[in-house]
Amino acid sequence: MHAVRLGVLDIGSNTVHLLIVDAHQGAAPLPAWKSKISLRLAEHLLPDGSIDKDAIDELVDFARQAQVNAEDLGVTEFLAFATSAIREAPNGIAVIQAVRERAGLDVEVLSGPDEARLTFLAVRRWFGWSAGRILVLDIGGGSLELASGADEEPDVALSLPLGAGRVTRDYLVGDPPKESSVRAARKEARAALGAVVGQILRAGEPRITVATSKTFRQLARITGAAPSSDGFYVRRTLSRDDLHTWVPKLASMTAGERAKLPGVSEARSSQLLAGAIVAEAALDLLGIDLVEIGPWALREGVILRRLDGMQT
């Protein structure tokens, strides 16, 4: 199988990423180039939940530029996908049509369970068969994905409306947020997880639990994990005890104060408390003391699925 240079456009609820990788079947995709914009689609919503014109225009412009960059760098195939922000917007289809008509790019809108399955595939390939049964948790801007399985296809794959951006927008009023707001966010996270935790537990006890996403990486970083500059291969973890310590600390901080913590970007600081509340709820209800931080997630899962589908 000859190598192929793939371009991947990931339209998330917080950020739109362009990733260019060199890949072939049976090998790990090697990142060659990347760029991103903090579009924060979840914050560009009209009263009815539709994505506003400014955000659509910015997305179209970035999609155009992404394709130019990809062509300049010799990309032979371009994949584009979108997650919960576009999936759930009343005008999501219109947004996808705008990207197709004005930027000439077809975008696949992933379902929540598909997000969970593709993230699980990436985690399985990274940690390998020796990891045994894996439970995967991923907190995005709009949703929380959970998947558990002993194979490459999980036995259970779920998506809940508990993304860090969504919970911040819907519940966390004030800076720092009011105590009643924090309690409401906590109650919502635990109620939503409580409704599905039985499905996860019945699938079997995981040998390891892996957390992916920027939210989990930042939470691990503020609790002492190695910085991203140390590379993929350093082991990073996040414990339930650390979350119990940090949730009240984060709740007492302003977004500006959180942005001064190690590894926390200003763009994400307002959402970090919501992410911590959801992470703590997940670990508490699932009875997990420690999660491994996985470097591969949804984007890598999309790439691996495409490679698996190529003819040898």
156-160/108-109 β-pairing: unpaired
Domains, the chain, ordered by start:
4-109 (3.30.420.40), 127-298 (3.30.420.150)
pLDDT, tens digit (0-9, with 9 covering 90-100), for 169-206: 999 989 999 999 999 999 999 999 999 999 999 999 99
Question: In this structure, what token pair is assigned to residue 249?
Answer: 């600390």
**C-alpha distances in Å from residue 59, one per residue of 22, 34, 69, 101, 183:** 25, 16, 15, 13, 35
| pLDDT (mean) for 134-146 | 96
- 3 state DSSP class of 239: strand
- Per DSSP, 291 falls in state E
Q: Tens digits of per-residue pLDDT, 199-239?
A: 999 999 999 999 999 999 999 999 999 999 998 899 999 99
Q: Contact, 303 vs 20, CB < 8 A? A: no
Asked whether residue 94 carries a pLDDT value surpassing 50, the answer given is: yes
The Cβ of residue 182 has, within 10 Å, a number of other Cβ atoms equal to: 23
Mind listing the pLDDT tens digit for each residue in 39-65? 888 778 888 989 999 999 999 999 999
Give the pair of three-digit tokens for residue 127.
């940690």
The pLDDT of residue 43: 76
Q: 98-139: per-residue pLDDT in tens? A: 999 999 999 999 999 999 999 999 999 999 999 999 999 999
Which amino acid makes up residue 192?
A: A
How, if at all, do strands 237-239 and 156-160 pair?
A: unpaired
Express each pLDDT in 5-32 by its tens digit. Answer: 999 999 998 899 999 999 887 788 889 9
Contacts of residue 258, Cβ cutoff 8 Å, sequence gap at least 6:
250, 264, 269, 270, 272, 273
Q: Is 195 exposed, middle or buried (0-12, 13-18, 19+ CB in 10 A)?
A: exposed
Q: What are phi and psi of 15, to 5 degrees?
A: -135, 145
The pair of structure tokens assigned to 283 is: 């670990």
pLDDT tens by residue, 296-309: 999 999 999 998 88
Q: Does 176 sit behind a cis peptide bond, omega within 30 degrees of 0 on the bond before it? A: yes
pLDDT at 312: 46
What burial class does residue 136 get, using C-beta atoms within 10 Å of its C-beta: 0-12 exposed, 13-18 middle, 19+ buried?
A: buried
**pLDDT of 232-275, one tens digit each?**
899 999 999 999 999 999 999 999 999 999 999 888 899 999 99
Q: What is the pLDDT of residue 97?
A: 97
Give the pLDDT score at 26.
79
pLDDT for residue 1 is more than 70: no
What spatial distance separates the first Cα and last Cα of the chain, rounded to whole Å? 5
* Contact between 136 and 116 (Cβ < 8 Å): yes
State the chain's mean pLDDT as an integer: 94
Q: Beta strands 108-109 and 16-23: pairing type?
A: unpaired
207 or 311: which leads in pLDDT: 207
Burial of 243 (0-12, 13-18, 19+ CB in 10 A): buried
- Per DSSP (E only), the strands in the chain are 4-11, 16-23, 30-37, 77-82, 108-109, 134-139, 144-149, 156-160, 208-212, 237-239, 290-293
